[in-house]
């Protein structure tokens, strides 16, 4: 497999511009410069992948696969990200980067890579022989986000644990018992299907703040049933990402192209205007798993299966009925990666409620969007969502 330089442009879409949040079809800009070239490879793999079920295996796409034989090729990069997250290590800790040739991921020259293979075997062995094949121990269990696992217990573990235990036994009056009831309450809380269907366009204006506290402006236009346009400004200038209902495109300075593959599915998903009133349609399976406290609020925890590898936990406030948190899990052979999205400060806009603050946190980013203005039913021309003529 040839790792082409031009592929970086595809990467830019996913990790620099498109971090998409549930519910309001929101696309926000993101400046994760760190792993540009590395992850473009993942995009390349996904682009050429046949549909699920007949997907190519890792060993047929990559050159030097030993421990992940049999894994679909598109799962290699999420797995690598799981390793990164668990060890607080980056790609370069285990992989060779040549100044001229670029990344040589297949090379075994770095000792960390060989060690990691041995660790995968050890971990599988522990789970197989001591936990009846359940994935109880992962890289993170021992490493806890650092290369060298701690040997000495941290200070003050005990008082913190007691506090957690006090949170058990939460009492809820008029407790709902099914995910259907909880979702019905949520839809009512945000204004109901009828009020939502009276809205056919939305314009959001606000700012995005990254993990370093840096703020940049963002404007998002959405039009029913499935058009979206986001305009953001970051250190490399203005970036526009659009979806006209059929095709996705982006423009960032001199770069301009179609959005394809996995990026396009994410963009399509973001463009769904009535997503929040059809929330249950995303899931093949939903179940109420628990009542838990989230940031001081008592919530219903509803688990939903999205696809073979992705699942969500949704947290609905038991009193207001509003969705206040979503945690998405991406399953890798070594364990699950998680991304948390918080929805705060719901504001009323023409009879419906929309969160005016959305925070999205992964292991390598933390973004907060704050809308200073949300306007409904403004006249937005269809042609705004079209790719500008070149
Ligand atoms: C702690 C070590 C470690 C880190 C960090 C790591 N990898 Fe890997 N990587 C491995 C190991 C081990 C393999 C070989 C897997 C096997 O034998 O099946 C591998 C294989 C790969 C391959 C397949 C190469 C080939 O052609 O055979 C790619 C691509 C890759 N890694 C990309 C990445 C990227 C991108 C990152 C950063 C996001 C990353 N890796 C971070 C250990 C690591
Ligand atoms: C049962 C605990 C345990 C698990 C599970 C575990 N590790 Fe480790 N790992 C260790 C310990 C302890 C060390 C440090 C001692 C050593 O280097 O031999 C270590 C060291 C390493 C190192 C070398 C770090 C350095 O200093 O260069 C790498 C790389 C590594 N582990 C990767 C992984 C990966 C990837 C996984 C998941 C597949 C994993 N480990 C799972 C315990 C664990």
Calculate mean pLDDT across residues 128-153. 96
Same domain, 85 and 212: no
| Of 39, 66, 105, best ligand 1 pocket probe by most atoms within 8 Å of the beta carbon | 105
pLDDT for 156: 82
User: Looking at the CA of 84, which ligand is closest?
Assistant: 1
CB 83, CB 139: distance < 8 Å:
yes
Residue 359, in any domain of the structure: yes
Ligand 2 midpoint to CA 178 (Å) = 42
- Range list of H helices, 169-249: 179-189, 192-197
User: Looking at the CA of 36, which ligand is closest?
Assistant: 1
Residue 230, SS3 per DSSP: strand
Last residue of a domain, one of 143, 165, 190: 143
Full residue range of the structural domain in which residue 138 is found? 5-143
Same domain, 105 and 203: no
Going by CA atoms, what residue is nearest to atom 36 of ligand 2? 139
Residue 252 has pLDDT above 60, yes or no: yes
Q: What tokens does 261 get?
A: 């593959």
Q: What sign does the dihedral 39-31-310-90 (CA atoms) show?
A: positive
Same domain, 128 and 13: yes
Same domain, 112 and 188: no
pLDDT for 368: 96
Phi, psi for residue 221 in degrees, rounded to 5 = -110, 135
Same domain, 212 and 355: yes
Nearest CA among 198, 204, 226, 201 for reference residue 217: 204
Residue 174, in any domain of the structure: no
Which pLDDT band holds residue 157 (cuts at 50, 70, 90)? Answer: confident
pLDDT for 24: 31
pLDDT for 167: 59
CATH number of the domain to which 197 belongs: 2.50.20.10
Same domain, 223 and 365: yes
pLDDT for 53: 58
In this prediction, what percent of the chain has a pLDDT beyond 90?
Answer: 74
CB 44, CB 69: distance < 8 Å:
no
Calculate mean pLDDT across residues 249-266. 88
Residue 281 has pLDDT above 80, yes or no: yes
Same domain, 49 and 110: yes
Determine the atom of ligand 2 nearest the C-alpha atom of 113. Answer: 29
User: Could you give the CA distance from residue 297 to residue 159 in angstroms, rounded to a whole number?
Assistant: 22
- How far, CA to CA in Å, does 323 sit from each of 42, 176, 279, 320, 353? 32, 15, 11, 9, 11
Ligand 1 midpoint to CA 283 (Å) = 31
pLDDT tens per residue across span 17-32: 343 332 233 333 332 3
Higher pLDDT residue, 33 or 315? 315
Calculate mean pLDDT across residues 74-99. 96
- How far, CA to CA in Å, does 362 sit from each of 328, 338, 366? 10, 7, 6
Higher pLDDT residue, 31 or 353? 353
Which pLDDT band holds residue 47 (cuts at 50, 70, 90)? Answer: very low
Same domain, 132 and 194: no
Calculate mean pLDDT across residues 117-141. 97
CB 293, CB 248: distance < 8 Å:
no
Last residue of a domain, one of 116, 143, 170: 143
Phi, psi for residue 15 in degrees, rounded to 5 = -100, -10
Same domain, 327 and 373: yes
Same domain, 323 and 376: yes
Residue 267 has pLDDT above 80, yes or no: yes
91 CB near ligand 1 (under 6 Å): yes
- How far, CA to CA in Å, does 266 sit from each of 18, 219, 241, 319? 8, 19, 12, 32
pLDDT for 12: 34
Q: What tokens does 351 get?
A: 């009879």
CB 95, CB 64: distance < 8 Å:
no
pLDDT for 388: 87
CATH number of the domain to which 122 belongs: 1.10.468
89 CB near ligand 1 (under 6 Å): yes
119 CB near ligand 2 (under 6 Å): yes
pLDDT for 32: 32
Determine the atom of ligand 1 nearest the C-alpha atom of 1. Answer: 26
pLDDT tens per residue across span 288-298: 999 999 999 99
Structurally, how many domains does the chain consist of? Answer: 2
Q: At what angle do helices 76-87 and 36-48 cross, to 10 degrees?
A: 150
User: Could you give the CA distance from residue 101 to residue 283 in angstroms, rounded to a whole number?
Assistant: 43
pLDDT for 325: 98
Neighbours of 54 (CB within 10 A): 8
CB 364, CB 32: distance < 8 Å:
yes
- Range list of H helices, the chain: 8-11, 36-48, 58-61, 76-87, 91-94, 111-130, 139-143, 157-166, 179-189, 192-197, 261-271
Higher pLDDT residue, 20 or 159? 159
Share the mean pLDDT of the chain. 86
pLDDT for 282: 92
pLDDT for 44: 46
pLDDT tens per residue across span 160-208: 666 665 556 788 888 999 999 999 999 999 999 999 999 999 999 999 9
| Of 89, 113, 142, 332, best ligand 1 pocket probe by most atoms within 8 Å of the beta carbon | 113
Last residue of a domain, one of 115, 143, 171: 143
Nearest CA among 371, 358, 347, 278 for reference residue 325: 358
Same domain, 134 and 196: no
67 CB near ligand 1 (under 6 Å): yes
Nearest CA among 359, 321, 353 for reference residue 341: 359
Same domain, 313 and 196: yes
User: Looking at the CA of 79, which ligand is closest?
Assistant: 1
Residue 381, in any domain of the structure: yes
Q: E strands, the chain, where?
A: 19-21, 26-28, 96-98, 102-104, 201-209, 215-223, 227-234, 237-243, 248-252, 255-259, 285-294, 297-305, 310-317, 323-332, 335-349, 352-361, 366-376
């Amino acid at each position: 497999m040839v790792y082409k330089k031009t592929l970086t442009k595809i990467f830019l879409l996913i990790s620099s511009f498109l971090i998409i949040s549930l519910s309001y079809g929101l696309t926000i800009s993101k400046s994760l410069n760190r792993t540009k070239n590395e992850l473009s490879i993942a995009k390349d793999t996904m682009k050429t992948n046949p549909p699920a079920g007949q997907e190519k295996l890792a060993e047929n796409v990559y050159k030097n696969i030993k421990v992940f034989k049999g894994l679909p090729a598109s799962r290699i990069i999420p797995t690598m990200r799981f390793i990164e997250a668990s060890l607080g290590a980056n790609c370069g800790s285990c992989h060779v980067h040549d100044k001229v040739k670029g990344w040589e991921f297949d090379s075994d020259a770095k000792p960390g890579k060989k060690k990691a293979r041995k660790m995968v075997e050890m971990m599988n062995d522990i789970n197989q022989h001591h936990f009846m094949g359940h994935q109880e121990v992962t890289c993170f269990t021992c490493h806890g986000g650092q290369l060298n696992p701690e040997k000495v217990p941290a200070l003050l573990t005990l008082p913190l644990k007691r506090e957690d235990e006090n949170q058990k036994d939460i009492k809820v009056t008029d407790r709902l018992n099914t995910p259907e009831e909880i979702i019905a309450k949520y839809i009512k809380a945000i204004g109901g299907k009828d009020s939502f269907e009276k809205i056919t366009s939305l314009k959001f204006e606000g700012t995005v703040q990254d993990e370093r506290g840096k703020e940049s402006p963002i404007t998002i236009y959405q039009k029913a049933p499935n058009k979206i346009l986001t305009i953001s400004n970051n250190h490399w200038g203005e970036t526009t990402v659009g979806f006209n209902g059929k095709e996705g495109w982006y423009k960032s300075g001199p770069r301009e192209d179609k959005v394809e593959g996995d990026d396009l599915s994410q963009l399509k998903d973001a463009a769904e205007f009535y997503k929040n009133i059809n929330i249950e349609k995303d899931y093949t399976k939903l179940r109420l798993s628990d009542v838990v406290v989230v940031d001081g609020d008592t919530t219903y925890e509803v688990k939903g299966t999205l696809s073979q590898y992705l699942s969500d936990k949704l947290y609905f406030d038991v009193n207001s009925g509003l969705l206040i948190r979503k945690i998405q899990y991406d399953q890798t052979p070594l364990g699950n990666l998680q991304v948390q999205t918080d929805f705060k400060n719901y504001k009323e806009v023409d009879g419906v409620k929309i969160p005016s603050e959305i925070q999205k946190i992964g292991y390598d980013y933390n973004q907060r969007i704050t809308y200073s203005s949300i306007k409904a039913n403004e006249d937005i021309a269809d042609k705004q969502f079209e790719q500008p003529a070149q």
